[in-house]
Structure formats: C-alpha cells, structure tokens
C-alpha cells in the first residue's frame, strides 16, 4: 500500500491504520537561525514525499568516482511498504531563538511532572520528532536514516534519542487487535470513528487557521519488567488489566468487544474488574469522558546489564490537548496495578501540524 504525504486532513501516520513496524527518532536543533529550521523542514518534506512513494531521495550510485550517494540504498526494491512519516515540532521550536513565539500552538508546553515518571534525560525531550511506520522494518529504518543524514548535512539538527519498534500494539479501524509484550490484546477500545477523531484528536478550534487539524503527539518509552511479569499467575495478570488474556474480553464479559461493566460485583461484593485494573482507571466512563488515540509499538533493546530482557512499549498517543494524556496518566501513575511491572523512562511532546498541500512543506505558514 502507498500513502501520499500531502493533502490529508491531519498528517499521515495518525488516523491511517497502524503499520507493523516503527522507527521513531527525536532531534535537538543545533542551529539558532530560523532559516536553517525552515530549510530543514522543507527538505524533509520533499524527501518524505519521495520515500513514501517507495522512491529514493537522490542518486544511490553517483556517476563521479568522488561522489557520495544521496540515498543510502537499502530500501531499493522493497516498495512503499505503507510507509508514513509523521513530523512533530517540540516546545523549543516556538521560542524567541527562532523568532517563532507568536506561532506557538495555544496548548503547547512541556508535560507536567507525573506520578509514574522515572525519566532518563537521554531518552527525554527533543525539538523535532519523526515517526516512521511501515510494513517492512527496513523501509522504516531507511527513511529515518536518510532523514537524519539530511538533518546532519544541513547542520540544523542532530539525533537525540530513538526507538525501533518491531510489532504494532494498537489497532485501527477494521484491523484485528494485536498483542503487546504482556501477551494481552492492546487497542480493543481505541478511537476509530471520524466523529471521535474530530472530538478528541484533531485541533478544530483555537489558534490560527494553519494549525487546524493539527494534533499533540505524546510519546513515552515504557520499560516492562518482563522477568517478574512472567512469574505472575495468569489470574493475577487478568486482574491487572481487567481483561482475559486469551480472548481479550473484559472480566465482566465473554467476548473481546463486550462493554466492560465497571460496577458489577461478585457474590462476595467485590468488584469483578478491580478498581486498580488498568482499564478501570483509563476508561472514558471513569474519566469524565476523556479519550485519546493510542498508536503504540512493542520494542526491544536486547538485554540490560543484569542480563535481563530489556523491552517494553513505545507508547504514542495523539490528542487535541496534552491535558487529556496528563489526566489519564495522573490516575494511572498513582494507582494502576500495572505499575508493578512498568517504568516510564522516556518522554516527549510534539505539535504535529496538519498535512502540507502538494508543493508546500511542514510548518510553511510559520516562516
């Protein structure tokens, strides 16, 4: 499948169905001139449009002996593989350094300190983000590699942190629900309908016209304590999520898409879905109707220095207001039964402008 970078409502890679793999990278701006930033966003945009067609972004094998390839070549012959690249702008873009303060999206700010935070500075923050998703991991990797090369060659930005995800852990409309590394179906109750995208994901009011259909991207690198989870009884694991591991059904139902009943009690008067279960604390029924779009991926970093599996969830959510994420994570971070098995070790927030029109580029209206 092939997507176009241009002319959508919001940027691609948000409401488009999650592909199988991700390569996610953040960057620090190393320039303090607005023009360098403008050139980088323009060059990235035209390169992304080419990459998403399955093309190269210049010569792979230059005719001159002294020539260095424009494109590194490893995605040749692999096709578009449903590649989408989504560009995010971090809080420091909209500052006096770049003369862009007046273009700051109304709700743009750093995330508040949250109860679960165990952040490693080298996995946190960033001035720009690139989310490349594809059905072939090499296509996603190639896109980020060659876009990072462009950043380096312009002298405008350098890599800050990166995560390669090997399996989608969220479902879009019509997709079967995949599983996260806990072995549970993830994405059963996610945003899929246009009305919900308009209500919870796309910015539809407030701010200048060019920011309409933008969104805020929140990313969290969440480590899973796999060894300890793997020794837990499955009945306890079910209580941690409030769902059955195999079927994905809520503990009050029998089928995956049964609506959870958060008030139902057993014969002893105990809630069947515990109040500390992940879905109980995260559901819109128990959060004044708040919803977010989750578009997460499983990742692994191999082994840690204790020779334990080092893996987790690259959690990515999209919302029209960062406060939607903060409200949910404030509750989850303090009470979620899942906290015994996870640590939030990385974090970032980015404004994702709407898709550019053909011939234009990301954020052009700011310059």
- Interface residues with ligand HEM (CB under 6 A) are 180, 182, 184-190, 220, 222, 224, 241, 243, 260, 278-279, 282-284, 292, 313, 315, 325, 328-329, 332, 342
HEC secondary structure over 244-255: CCCCCCECCCCC
> Between residues 211 and 252, which has the closer beta carbon with respect to ligand HEM?
252
> Between residues 168 and 278, which has the closer beta carbon with respect to ligand HEM?
278
Tokens of 364: 């052009």
Q: Contact at 8 Å (CB) between 131 and 22?
A: yes
In a 3-state reduction of DSSP, which class is residue 267?
coil
> Could you give the CA distance from residue 168 to residue 253 in angstroms, rounded to a whole number?
25
> Between residues 94 and 241, which has the closer beta carbon with respect to ligand HEM?
241
Which helix H or strand E contains 163, and what residues bound it?
Answer: strand 157-168
Interhelix angle 34-52/137-154, rounded to 10 degrees, is: 150
> Between residues 74 and 321, which has the closer beta carbon with respect to ligand HEM?
321
> Between residues 85 and 328, which has the closer beta carbon with respect to ligand HEM?
328
82: left (phi over 0), alpha (psi -120 to 50) or beta: left
> Between residues 38 and 190, which has the closer beta carbon with respect to ligand HEM?
190
Q: Is 118 exposed, middle or buried (0-12, 13-18, 19+ CB in 10 A)?
A: exposed
Closest approach of ligand HEM to the CB of residue 249, in Å: 10
Pair type for strands 21-29 and 293-294: unpaired
Closest approach of ligand HEM to the CB of residue 158, in Å: 28
Closest approach of ligand HEM to the CB of residue 205, in Å: 23
> Between residues 160 and 294, which has the closer beta carbon with respect to ligand HEM?
294
Closest approach of ligand HEM to the CB of residue 133, in Å: 18
Closest approach of ligand HEM to the CB of residue 283, in Å: 4
> Could you give the CA distance from residue 205 to residue 216 in angstroms, rounded to a whole number?
14
> Could you give the CA distance from residue 258 to residue 127 in angstroms, rounded to a whole number?
41
CA angle 12, 13, 19 (to 5 degrees): 130
Closest approach of ligand HEM to the CB of residue 33, in Å: 37
Closest approach of ligand HEM to the CB of residue 90, in Å: 20
In a 3-state reduction of DSSP, which class is residue 278?
helix
């Amino acid at each position: 499948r092939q997507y176009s970078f241009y002319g959508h409502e919001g940027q691609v890679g948000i409401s488009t169905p999650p592909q199988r793999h991700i390569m996610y990278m953040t960057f620090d701006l190393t320039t303090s001139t607005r023009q360098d930033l403008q050139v980088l966003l323009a060059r990235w945009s035209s390169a992304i449009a080419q990459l998403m067609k399955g093309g190269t972004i210049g010569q792979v094998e230059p005719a001159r002996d002294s020539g260095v390839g424009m494109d590194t070549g490893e995605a040749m012959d692999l096709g578009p593989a449903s590649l989408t690249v989504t560009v995010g702008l971090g809080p420091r873009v909209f500052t006096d350094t770049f003369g862009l303060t007046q273009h700051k999206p109304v709700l743009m700010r750093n995330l508040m300190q949250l109860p679960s935070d165990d952040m490693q500075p080298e996995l946190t923050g960033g001035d720009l983000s690139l989310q490349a998703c594809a059905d072939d991991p090499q296509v996603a990797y190639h896109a980020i590699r060659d876009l990072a090369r462009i950043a380096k060659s312009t002298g405008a930005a350098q890599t800050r942190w990166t995560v390669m995800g090997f399996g989608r852990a969220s479902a879009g409309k019509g997709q079967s629900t995949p599983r996260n590394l806990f072995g549970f179906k993830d994405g059963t109750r996610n945003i899929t309908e246009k009305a919900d995208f308009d209500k919870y994901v796309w910015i539809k009011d407030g701010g200048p016209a060019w920011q309409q259909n933008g969104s805020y991207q929140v990313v969290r690198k969440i480590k899973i304590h796999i060894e300890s989870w793997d020794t837990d009884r499955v009945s306890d694991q079910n209580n941690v999520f409030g769902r059955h591991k195999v079927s994905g059904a809520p503990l009050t139902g029998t089928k995956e898409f049964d609506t959870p009943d958060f008030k139902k009690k057993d014969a002893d008067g105990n809630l069947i879905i515990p109040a500390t279960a992940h879905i109980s604390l995260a559901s819109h029924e128990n959060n004044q109707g708040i919803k977010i779009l989750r578009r997460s991926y499983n990742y692994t970093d191999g082994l840690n220095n204790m020779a334990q599996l080092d893996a987790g969830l690259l959690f990515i959510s999209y919302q029209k207001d960062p406060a939607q994420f903060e409200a949910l994570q404030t509750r989850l971070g303090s009470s979620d039964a899942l906290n015994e098995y996870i640590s939030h070790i990385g974090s970032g927030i980015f404004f994702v402008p709407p898709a550019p029109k053909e011939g234009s580029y990301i954020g052009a209206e700011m310059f």
